[in-house]
Amino acid sequence: MSDLNVDDFYKDTAKILDALYRSFPRPLILYVSDISGEDKPDEYGVHSDRHMSCFSTLLWLADENYLRFEDSIQQEAVDQAVLSAPCFNLLSTPTGPAEFQDKHAEKRDVSLSVQTEMSRNINRLRRALKEGSSIRLRNVMAEIMHAMVYI
């Protein structure tokens, strides 16, 4: 049985890294609602657990050197967020063409440059997000995050 909080963490992390990669090297404001969905604070202004988990993911990723930002905007967003150099390099790195070839065996005539591009960690992450499989996303994100430890 999967821990839903960990699945949410991986999904949020993948969306955050994808958004920052798409804007790299330009910093941007990352809104929690763009990542985890709209939130309706209660009558006291307290956000939902899901919203706070996503916001905590942003802070954790900064603490662990995946990204940096200048300031938080209450608990709504982080301002001027950008990927760290090690994270950018890791996402840009190909894992090797074997994964692409195995998954697309009928297209063996695909050029090496296309295979290399498709095997970059950022594209593996994007495919896992698009597939919508929590297990696939968990596996890809775990591999990426494990590799980050050694950078």
Q: What is the pTM of this model?
A: 0.86
DSSP assignment of 68-122: E-SEEETTTEEEEEEE-HHHHHHHHSB--THHHHHHTGGGTTS-HHHHHHHTBHH
Mean pLDDT of 114-128: 87
Predicted confidence at residue 133, as pLDDT, reads 92
